[in-house]
Amino acid sequence: MHWADVTAQALAHKSDTHVVSTGITPSGEFHIGHLREILTGDMIARAAENAGLKVDFVFIIDSADPLRKVYDFLGPEYEQFVGNQLGAIPAPKEDGNPDWDRFKNENWTYANHFLEPFLKALKEIGVEPRLIDNLDSYRSGRFAELSKIACDRADEIRETIERVSGRELPDGWFPWSPLNSRGGLDKVRVTGYEYPLVHWEDEYGESGSSDLTKGEGKLPWRIDWPAKWGWVGVTCEAFGKDHGAAGGSYSTGREIVKILGHEPPQPLVYEWISLRGKGAMSSSAGNTIGPIEALRLVPPQILRLLIAKSKPNKAIEFDTGMGLVTLADEFERLAARNFEQELSNEDLSRRQKVQIEDAAGAMKMATVVSGQNIEATAVTFRHLALLAQTKSSDEAVWSSLQSSGVIESVTPQLQDRLNRMRYWIQSTHFPVEMRVNILTQPNKAAIQGFSKEEAAILRSISHELSTCEWNKREINAAIPRSIESVPVAHKWLAYKVAYLCLMGMEKGPRLAPILVEIGQQKIIKLLEASVELLEA
């Protein structure tokens, strides 16, 4: 059974209506790691619906969280906003400094700025959760009731956090962080509490009262999370392994939520996604790839497959090079399979059956629209990468595929894939192994090791190509013709020699169309130089 179905089954045992929640702080550029948060939730929600449950899938935007520091991508003017809430400060402009105009005129905030492109990417991936803005929720009093309980029972909450996390909270700690005189959540001390007011004093010498029904402050994270479970009614949430550790925020949250009068949600801990060869993703280290960037390279189904096929507790290495080719080709293979037919085979061992079911489950989760059928395009990534590199026009790519009988007509899906492929090829992510590369210097090592026959073939190829008309058909005929005068068993050898001398490898893509693009002169020059090496 697919992991999402396992969780859905656990939910089904509890109730037939559920709220599956996800949450992210919009503190900077979203990256593909955040996609796991959302997609894990989405897949659980989808599986639960498939199991006949009624599901509300929500995405809580943690816009009430403060700006932690002036990140590298921010200008120095952001110093004044450190500690202020992300949904209450202006978005950065190109130069990294605050865009006051948009903030004043449209209330365009820091949180909006980073959230918007992510939501756009989500839509393309087929994820459309109900959005809950956390700052708005505070301001409109959604947290009021539970904040009151937290403040009334501050001692119990304090005891819980200290006992479960094993860390000591400072004197004067209070389960409500009021906004100070400058709108920040730090540099402020709670001096008293009479519902609904929390009295405070800040380091600027000001004092005041924070009304917790109006969002003039927020609950600290370890209480904020369980309070959200409470008022939203969350019954299931997937979260990163950082929250999941003993003493982490889930283990305190599950006790605190009971103090607040609710039950903890069904947890599911997931591992991080890292970029291959670059370690864990971190915005400040600059080693991120955003969901938007990733979508330019691969179709959404393949991105979904990446998450769907890995169990949540497995770390994923996202590889924008050869790994992407492997992943895309795996997708095509899976799309071409008929799982129902495979499962109808009675002789399957339990193990084989599980494997087929998991593959089928992963593909079900990979579709952008739930329940939609994925059709194999019959064109592998490798093949398309090759065509896209050798044909400058899309028309030429399609006619090649049509004449070889791979496709009948050009579907929007194929056009879409070709567009992404062209983007990938001109990006820095495209792997060198895939790049069509004609040698500029003769392949000395290979040529010196040539047998008598191979040497003869090389001479012959050089002759044939310099005299043939420079088009695909003639070149195609010229290469096998080059062995006619040489007594060898297989014409395969002609190709081997050609590939070694022109591309430096034993096998390769169809030569003719590439050679046409490169031009006769250059090729002849290379071959003549190679022949000279033979004489030496």
Give the interface with RNA as residue ranges (CB under 7 A): 23-25, 27, 62, 65-66, 68, 165-167, 173, 177, 220-222, 240-249, 269, 271-272, 280, 310-311, 313-317, 326, 330, 333, 351-352, 354-355, 358, 380, 382-383, 386, 404, 406, 434-436, 476-477, 480, 491-492, 495-496, 499, 503, 505, 507-511
CB 221, min distance to RNA, A: 4
* Diameter of the chain measured on Cα atoms: 102
Q: Where are the beta strands (DSSP E) in 115-187?
A: 130-133, 177-178
Residue number with CB closer to RNA (51 or 93): 51
- Whole-angstrom distance, CA of residue 35 vs CA of residue 121: 10
Instruction: Closer to RNA by CB, 334 or 531: give it.
Output: 334
Alpha-carbon distance 356 to 180, whole Å? 58
Which CB sits closer to RNA, 4 or 503?
503
Least distance (Å) between residue 211 CB and RNA: 19
At its nearest, how many Å lie between RNA and the CB of residue 49?
22
Tokens of 396: 């030429």
CA distance 198 to 498: 81
Minimum CB separation of residue 162 from RNA in Å reads 8
Q: How far is the CB of 106 from RNA (least distance, A)?
A: 24
CB of 247 to RNA, least distance (A): 4
* Residue 453: closest CA among 410, 492, 408: 492
Pick 382 or 525: Cβ nearer RNA: 382
User: Edge-to-edge strands of the sheet including 188-194?
Assistant: 188-194, 197-202, 207-211
Listed in sequence order, the residues at least 6 apart from 387 whose beta carbon sits closer than 8 Å to its beta carbon are 397, 400, 401
- Choice between 52 and 166, CB closer to RNA: 166
Nearest one of 75, 59, 72 to 26, comparing CA atoms: 59
- The residue whose two tokens read 């590199």 is 389
Smaller CB separation from RNA, 142 or 243: 243
CB of 3 to RNA, least distance (A): 8
From the CB of 66, what's the least distance to RNA, in Å? Answer: 6
* Residue closer to RNA (CB basis): 167 or 452: 167
CB of 391 to RNA, least distance (A): 12
Q: Which run of H or of E encompasses 316?
A: strand 316-318
- Nearer to RNA by C-beta: 284 or 326? 326
User: For residues 425 and 529, which CB has a smaller minimum distance to RNA in the complex?
Assistant: 425
**Region of residue 166 (left: phi > 0; alpha: psi -120 to 50; beta: else):** left
Q: Are 65 and 114 in contact (CB under 8 A)?
A: no
The answer to whether the bond into 196 is cis (omega within 30° of 0) is: yes
CA quadruple 503, 320, 398, 393: dihedral, nearest 10: -70
Structural tokens at position 235: 């019954």
Q: How far is the CB of 101 from RNA (least distance, A)?
A: 27
Q: How far is CA 189 from CA 69, 139, 434, 494, in A?
A: 20, 21, 60, 82
Q: Choose between 382 and 429: whose C-beta lies nearer to RNA.
A: 382
